[in-house]
Amino acid sequence: LALQLQKRYQGIRDFSADFIHTYRGGAFRNQTTERGTVAIKKPGLMRWVYTDPEKKEFVSDGRRIYSYLPRDRQVLVAAVPADDSASTPALFLAGRGDIARDFAAAYEDGGSADSAVLKLTPRRPEPEYDYLVVTLNARTLQILALTTRDRQGGDSTLRFSNLRENRGLPD
């Protein structure tokens, strides 16, 4: 299934979706929920626009990631990780990762007749997370949700809806 997923996503040039991002923190188990839209065009172009409860935006031009935080009145700029270290979930979505190369895959509980769940454990230790859980549409292999477990035991989940693929997004 992991190889089928990789093959399918190699054929996707761009996609956009609505998302709900939920984070449940480790030690205190606080939960936050945010909403927005995402647009991704391979290789490496991304725009994440958070609209609720706080506006913020993350944009990548393939070389740099720009984080715009209007409430703080600042923009943070960071380099995109090199291809050989690009196994984070967002970079996989942007076409800069490989499931077979970067992860050990295993089935995870929680699937249904309509969905399958894969647990992807990075082959090299990742500073940002312990593992990634991908929930897929069992028939189309569209990614319905991505969950990461961080080092403090927190879970960050992105749930996608209104997914549109290969629509010719502009740069």
Neighbours of 78 (CB within 10 A): 10
pLDDT at 81 over 90: no
Both tokens assigned to 96: 């800069």
Residue 89: pLDDT band with limits 50, 70, 90: low
Cα separation of 5 and 84, whole Å?
Answer: 20
Residue 109: pLDDT band with limits 50, 70, 90: confident
In this prediction, residues 49-73 reach a mean pLDDT of 94
pLDDT value of residue 26: 65
Give me the residues paired with residue 122 across strands: 103
Q: Read off the pLDDT of residues 113-157 as tens digits, 9 standing for 90 and up.
A: 899 999 988 888 877 788 889 999 989 999 999 998 887 888 889
pLDDT at 86 over 70: no
Residue 159: pLDDT band with limits 50, 70, 90: very high
Residue from 138, 145, 170 nearest 160 by CA: 145
pLDDT at 111 over 70: yes
pLDDT value of residue 82: 66
